Structure 1
């Protein structure tokens, strides 16, 4: 090799020959490899791809269902509670919400369970009703007729006192004279005073002189109460009546569990006598009607009873221990004694006649 060729070789070794292939760098080789594997436009290092929007249908539906559920709970709280409680919860004795107006339907069906001496209200809607006077709802008082609000409040309290004395007093239930209830009756209302005297003294009362129209009574030699509790459900309402009087209407159902008086065993028979009364009481203006302070006049009183006897009136409830009731009841006509959605027929006094007994759908 000549000296000129050797000099040119050394110079090209440093500067590189024109057109000679260039070995790509490691980064270049990596880029080339990625382009082969993922063809498409290159993505800049300061750019970003927006997230793909999702349809939130599932969340929208969930939200709508939750809103509807909250609305149902707000409108029908008691029914919703009933969906989540077992059958036995209806038998726990917890009082239902107070009745502030006439219900729209009968209470729901209860488990078919026989009452016992230990649990006399088992298998009955009354298991959730309040005890005694607590089950009678008294509305707020307002000035009405001739009475101021405080006087209306006293009239409502005394009206409930009358119901307690006539239908819950233990002595009256044993057949004793309902003296406390009679003291609240206007002594100058001659027809009512005559009814009370006849009803409580006659051994053969009629449909219009039956003391059961106002007073709850059992023959002590035939039936005795089971325990000390009588379940009740009902309410008082009031309005202005004739001559400015305050007219109070009581619509109350009483449930009396009783057992045969001669039966002292632990497995004795229990019958529930169910009585619904509608009593209209007039608290009269002394300036318009002859009356005495703290007494009221009776406008009307009506009675509906189940398991109280279908024979001629005797002045006492006669629970159908055994199968006696089936001999008199009309098997083709059935009634629900716990259905308070329908009003009673009112008048000067009514009772169940022998040929008007229906069969109770439950007791």
Structure 2
């Protein structure tokens, strides 16, 4: 969905409660943007289970022992340790909604992983009810949430966008004044925090990605005194790649992102600043190809990286990586090969 044409420049109106519109031509260029795709967070996780079976028996006495050690890639064939505690995030204040669509029957590449119970595709992006919030009317809230949902679908689920060389399909959905910044993100690997681009030769399975998460919104004034509708999206995206799986979870790549969007109140900013803004980004990836992710691109991990990834993540419960409430600070396994 493209953003609307720039609205006419708002007329100058004295208002002691807030700065004049012309006082904020560049305010959003200074917003904080936390990028976590650098080499310190290019995460590649493979959890493998080596199952060895020792048969010992003489005569009528037969003892069978199963020794579970890391080895075969996957999540389901080895005995797991009991549930482990892991750090979780604090939910932002405001009106919210979580993924609530009935999941389709588990089938194919997601079997044996938590993603098998997630809704498929856009069905996992559930919008909260639009209510009057601060100075934003219910209609404005509804329109803003719809824009963000469309941007998420383009950025994370649109296969045409994932393989296109030109990112404008997504870029033009942002406020005109932020588009140059978004283009700069696509010129580096920073875009991987909020958008999915496939590595050359990578092929997704025909099944739709599985999606689970939450959307929360609230109204407030930002550090520049501008009234904004702040929307926090927190989603886990599970992608199935075409591979020859050995065990459940092979070829399933996880991306977990938390994004903070802002929509300024139209009367507080100039027309080119109206629309979607990204002000904070944080993410991690799991079971990824490190070489591809160094460029921000997505592909399933390769066997050559498995052993060192296992060592770095031995204390991480693999199922926790599918939890949208999990904290995004996790071990970096890709950095082991630098």
User: CA deviation digits over 1:239-289, x for unaligned, max 9?
Assistant: 0132221111111111000025xx7x9x9x950010111111101012222
The CA deviation at 1:147 is: 1.7
The CA deviation at 1:219 is: 1.6
Unaligned runs of 5+ in 2: 1-75, 77-95, 100-105
2:237 match? 254
Q: TM-score, normalised by structure 1?
A: 0.55
Q: TM-score, normalised by structure 2?
A: 0.59
- Correspondence for 1:199 among 157, 181, 185: 185
The CA deviation at 1:193 is: 2.5
Does 2:199 match 1:211? no
- Correspondence for 2:306 among 322, 325, 329: 325
What secondary structure sits across from 2:242 in the alignment? Answer: strand
User: CA deviation digits over 1:23-51, x for unaligned, max 9?
Assistant: xxxxxxxxxxxxxxxxxxxxxxxxxxxxx
Distance in 2 separating the partners of 1:324 and 1:354: 8
1:338 match? 322
User: Relative to structure 1, is the Cα distance of residues 228 and 287 closer, same or farther in structure 2, using a 3 angstrom cutoff?
Assistant: same
What secondary structure sits across from 2:321 in the alignment? Answer: coil
Distance in 2 separating the partners of 1:135 and 1:251: 12
Distance in 2 separating the partners of 1:198 and 1:323: 32
The CA deviation at 1:293 is: 8.1
Cα pair 2:203 2:242 within 8 Å, conserved = yes
Bigger-Rg structure (1/2):
1
Which structure has more strand as a fraction of its residues? 2
Distance in 2 separating the partners of 1:101 and 1:135: 8
2:219 match? 240
Which structure has more helix as a fraction of its residues? 1
Distance in 2 separating the partners of 1:177 and 1:326: 36
Does 2:256 match 1:276? yes
The CA deviation at 1:175 is: 4.8
1:187 match? 176
CA RMSD of aligned residues (A): 3.4
User: Relative to structure 1, is the Cα distance of residues 333 and 123 closer, same or farther in structure 2, using a 3 angstrom cutoff?
Assistant: same
RCO higher in structure (CA 8 A, sep ≥6): 2
Unaligned runs of 5+ in 1: 1-86, 88-98, 103-114, 358-363
Does 2:285 match 1:299? no
Distance in 2 separating the partners of 1:125 and 1:250: 20
User: Relative to structure 1, is the Cα distance of residues 356 and 248 closer, same or farther in structure 2, using a 3 angstrom cutoff?
Assistant: farther
User: CA deviation digits over 1:279-303, x for unaligned, max 9?
Assistant: 1110101222234487211110111
**How many residues are paired up?**
228
1:131 match? 120
2:129 match? 140
What secondary structure sits across from 2:303 in the alignment? Answer: coil
Does 2:209 match 1:230? yes
Distance in 2 separating the partners of 1:294 and 1:161: 17
The CA deviation at 1:185 is: 1.2
User: Relative to structure 1, is the Cα distance of residues 143 and 352 closer, same or farther in structure 2, using a 3 angstrom cutoff?
Assistant: farther
- 1:78-117 equivalent positions in 2, closer than 5 A: 100=97
Cα pair 2:161 2:169 within 8 Å, conserved = no
Cα pair 2:290 2:301 within 8 Å, conserved = no
Does 2:150 match 1:166? no
The CA deviation at 1:199 is: 3.5
